[in-house]
Chains A and B, each alone.
Chain A
């Protein structure tokens, strides 16, 4: 089946530093990737939708200058949390859509647990 690899699985960083999270689709071409944030015992919060070769579309309330998303190829999307603060600590999950886009399941990475100290 389709596999999405997300790295790192866990990262601890100091306040004010930046962290990059990578999401790779290993055996299929992901024209669209979604980035989610999940708080404890809560549902997924969509942060942005990323289409290959174009700028990401951010959801309302998500700061695009803080959460930089790059989707440079059909197999790689990155999320960079810039100048991280403790309130950015969360579980971040990427997912990639197969084809056809409307009725294909999403394939999820295993998530990144970010802790900002």
Chain B
């Protein structure tokens, strides 16, 4: 069975400071990892994914994530936070082995609050 853990319910950061939103995972086989962002009363938007290759993945809106196989982590980062980055962030994993629908597993979400 696969699982995703986002250990922080909320992350607070000052505008202009770097931010990190943590994610660890457990999955059989190769992990396919994703980050999504959700603004209030909206669906989720895809930010970035790791499939294979370079451990540092760059995505939308200046976000990046670092895949660490030994620590089974996929933390989301941004060098300089903006107030507009305040939102709910979800980490997700999809199984690489055949399972029909490749049902993704989501973390519980982390609320990012960027203070002016």
Q: Which residues of A contact B (CB under 8 A)?
A: 4, 6, 32, 34, 41-44, 46, 49, 51, 57, 91, 93, 95, 97, 101-103, 105-111, 113
Contact = CB atoms under 8 A, between A and B. Distances in A.
A49 B105 CA distance: 13
Interface residues of B, number: 26
Chain A interface helix/strand/loop/mixed: strand
A4 B44 CA distance: 11
A103 B41 contact: no
Contacts, number: 66
Interface string B93-116: 011100011111011110100000
Contact of A95 (B32, B42, B44): B44
A43 B45 contact: no
Interface of B: 32, 34, 36, 41-46, 49, 51, 90, 92, 94-96, 100-104, 106-109, 111
